Amino acid sequence: MADLHALMKKLQKKNDSKIVLLVSDGLGGLPLEPGGKTELETANTPNLDALAKKGTLGRSIPVIPGITPGSGPGHLGLFGYDPLEFNIGRGVLEALGIDFELGPDDVAIRGNFCTLDDDGKITDRRAGRIPSEVGAELCKKLDKIEIPGVEVFVRHVKEYRLVIVLRAKGLGGDINDTDPQKTGVPPLEPVGQNEASAKTAVLCKEFLKQAGEILKDDHPANLLTMRGIAKMPEIPTFEEVYGTRAAAVAVYPMYRGLARLVSMDVKDAGQTLESQMDCLEKIWDDYDFFFVHYKYTDSTGEDGNFDAKVARTEDVDTCIPRITALNPDVLIVTGDHSTPAKMKSHSWHPVPVLLSAENARFDGCQSFGESECIQGGLGQFEAKYLMWLAMAHAGRLEKYGA
Amino acid sequence: MADLHALMKKLQKKNDSKIVLLVSDGLGGLPLEPGGKTELETANTPNLDALAKKGTLGRSIPVIPGITPGSGPGHLGLFGYDPLEFNIGRGVLEALGIDFELGPDDVAIRGNFCTLDDDGKITDRRAGRIPSEVGAELCKKLDKIEIPGVEVFVRHVKEYRLVIVLRAKGLGGDINDTDPQKTGVPPLEPVGQNEASAKTAVLCKEFLKQAGEILKDDHPANLLTMRGIAKMPEIPTFEEVYGTRAAAVAVYPMYRGLARLVSMDVKDAGQTLESQMDCLEKIWDDYDFFFVHYKYTDSTGEDGNFDAKVARTEDVDTCIPRITALNPDVLIVTGDHSTPAKMKSHSWHPVPVLLSAENARFDGCQSFGESECIQGGLGQFEAKYLMWLAMAHAGRLEKYGA
């Protein structure tokens, strides 16, 4: 396989074009019954349909056929980073998502406050879903933990969730989760899979020991489990690869973290689609590439709420006129994966792609939906090629060869 | 390229699902005239069409676009082994197909009895297609050949066809066929392409010399040619890769051999589609994955008999209700390659794929045929990804990444 990033760096050129990548998370769906319509097909989406009529549709395979991606691989693919090549640990994503500036010596750990009984067995893996104020207070206490030879950072994320970062030379990140994924059993011991990770595992144990002391009177949050223990991967920046100034207009920490991972500028986009559109308008002149992320098509799908996913899809449609009013040269609307309400989970199904641009090849498609996308002019392609299409339609790629 | 087998081993999980892969050999075809229908489209296939309406269709590229595969690469692709990575010699396939247990030190050779004239030139490359009884007797005589330092096995296959196995440490399998592919010339000399194979070539010459002596009065079968000289490839087992207990319900030796190559359990399935269905029903509770192979859509295609291929396709359709009555979680009907009667040979054309499963995405296709498959929701994909789709639809894959 050719090194596609090296090739992109060679072929990319700069111009004044603007590219918007609107990711409606988990966009692809399934009909509830054979012969029925998917969430996207059920939704009333006049603005997306108008774009589909003029533009071109297609289907993106997030990783390879059959693979259901998590949010990390799903977004890396859309950003043009082969998700089989770049593997991002959950702890790293979580740390990036709360604006923690991870360095190369850091091991990031996702923590969940949990409840232990007197026998040391977990009775609640989420500590009764304590409110964020309580979680934040407990994290302040844990942040005082000191372990010789290592810097320790504890940061609160939300409710029962936190991030721990261990900073020291020579630590590895290949360690199992201590969350046993069930109740009635004690947490698992952290075990390193290699020498460097064994060093980290010793630190994790010491941290958990001290945390147990500190939290012993804080029932229901009297301990925490560790998950997704990982180091930062080495990853080229988005600007280096594409030569674009890129901004992320995302609300959720995870997706802000993913954008930060490839060194996009992560903007303050508020908490709603409206505030995201405000942000987009405000920064329009300052960037070439805009990653806009909308979470709720995924979360409603995960909830198994078909009608709510339809409604959230209609919300996405509603924001389209504010984007097209900015006159982007390329507007792509897609998802990082499918999340069919019928399955209440991410899935492997191809993801609908809509590409609107002056030189998009007309394909006769009349609306934006899974079945129309089968007929789409972009065909079916691996997500890692989407940025190539974006750059091409933006006139940002030189000819390859003479 | 990431190691897909390593990834599959990591992502596969076990559940109670059942997967049936029904391979109608050479299924893909061509219309006799532009605008006409293919064999599959001409056949009356109400059961397959009913599955197509509810399920999803697609097209499989056996190797890469344009490559016409033999049975070996065709099936390896379907089993999820990259046919460009795993190269199986014909001699190996033939030996596996007659239940010969090949070991790592074995070189397997496919033999054809042939007729030599007094000048040592071949006058018939198949020795007048001697009956199987005669071929079997001659093989018994040849099995007595002794060569110092090597174990020699000679086994009859059918009519003029046999298998020779040479067993000794340090033998190579990179040797040309001795069959000159035409008459009026002597057999070719076996030549090894490397040091280990040169050792084997010496043994082949010695074997052929002794065989000439033994067969000199057995006209028309007074010698044999050697073809497909090869060693066993190192290949991970199907169970190791997918975590499924897999059974092969195949009649023809070649396909039983291919299944054995990846360590499927090869069952006694009788000689007909009916006996294969009996077998399937009988072993249903004992396995997770069932490879059912039907030969005659290929052989009628090879014969150039369009109508017979249509009739054999209808036979496949007839067995569908017995499969669906078992209520498999995933049923895939496809071929290992196309064999258009119009071409009287295997071809490179994409192969129709039908996938029936609860979470297959509805795609509006109304019948099972090449043209409908172009509109199919699975799109066009390399055969090596088919098992990923099978595993995904069976709920046997974990999510990739967080």
B-facing residues of A in 60-89 (CB < 8 A) are 63-73, 83-85, 87-89
Predicted ipTM beyond 0.90 = no
| Residue of B9, B354, B399 best to disrupt the A interface, most CBs of A under 10 A | B399
Residues of chain B neighbouring A346 (CB-CB closer than 8 A): 399
pLDDT band per the 50, 70, 90 thresholds, residue A98: confident
Query: Is residue A101 scored above 90 in pLDDT?
Result: no
| Residue of A64, A90, A337, A380 best to disrupt the B interface, most CBs of B under 10 A | A64
Average pLDDT of span B2-12: 93
Question: Is residue A13 within 8 Å of A396, Cβ to Cβ?
Answer: yes
Beta carbons within 8 Å of A272's beta carbon, 6+ residues apart? A251
Specify burial of residue A14 (Cβ count, 10 A radius: 0-12, 13-18, 19+).
exposed
What is the rounded distance in angstroms from the CA atom of residue A177 to the CA atom of residue A130? 21
Which segments of B179-281 are extended strands (E)?
Answer: 223-231, 246-249, 265-266
Cβ distance B53 to A70 less than 8 Å, yes or no, reads: no
Q: Is A57 on the interface with B (CB under 8 A)?
A: no
pLDDT band per the 50, 70, 90 thresholds, residue A104: confident
What is the rounded distance in angstroms from the CA atom of residue B389 to the CA atom of residue A383? 17
Residues of chain A neighbouring B54 (CB-CB closer than 8 A): 34
What is the rounded distance in angstroms from the CA atom of residue A348 to the CA atom of residue A334? 15
Chain A residue with minimum CA distance to B390:
A66
Q: In the 8-state DSSP scheme, what is residue A248? A: E
Query: Is residue B2 scored above 80 in pLDDT?
Result: no
Q: In the 8-state DSSP scheme, what is residue B183? A: S
pLDDT band per the 50, 70, 90 thresholds, residue A2: low
Provide the percentage of residues in chain B whose pLDDT is more than 70: 100
Question: Is residue B131 within 8 Å of B160, Cβ to Cβ?
Answer: no
How do residues B31-74 score in pLDDT, each as one tens digit? 999 999 999 999 999 999 999 999 999 999 999 999 999 999 99
Query: What was the pLDDT predicted at A232?
Result: 86
Provide the percentage of residues in chain A whose pLDDT is more than 90: 92
Domain ranges of chain B: 17-87+235-393, 92-231
Distances (CA, A) of A88 to A6, A262, B342: 21, 11, 51
Specify burial of residue B250 (Cβ count, 10 A radius: 0-12, 13-18, 19+).
buried
Task: Say whether domain A16-87+235-393 belongs to CATH 3.40.720.10.
Answer: yes
Among partner residues B54, B359, B377, which is closest to A374 by beta-carbon distance? B377
Q: Is A385 on the interface with B (CB under 8 A)?
A: no
How many angstroms separate the CA of residue B352 from the nearest CA in chain A?
16
The CATH superfamily of B17-87+235-393 is: Alkaline Phosphatase, subunit A (3.40.720.10)
Query: What was the pLDDT predicted at A99?
Result: 80
Question: Is residue A295 within 8 Å of A336, Cβ to Cβ?
Answer: no
3-state SS string for B72-101: HHHHHHHCCCCCCCCCCCHHHHHHHHCCCC
Residues of chain B neighbouring A371 (CB-CB closer than 8 A): 362-364
How do residues A71-92 score in pLDDT, each as one tens digit? 999 999 999 999 999 988 889 9
pLDDT band per the 50, 70, 90 thresholds, residue A243: very high
How do residues A13-30 score in pLDDT, each as one tens digit? 999 999 999 999 999 999
Query: Is residue A206 scored above 80 in pLDDT?
Result: yes
Query: Is residue A111 scored above 80 in pLDDT?
Result: yes
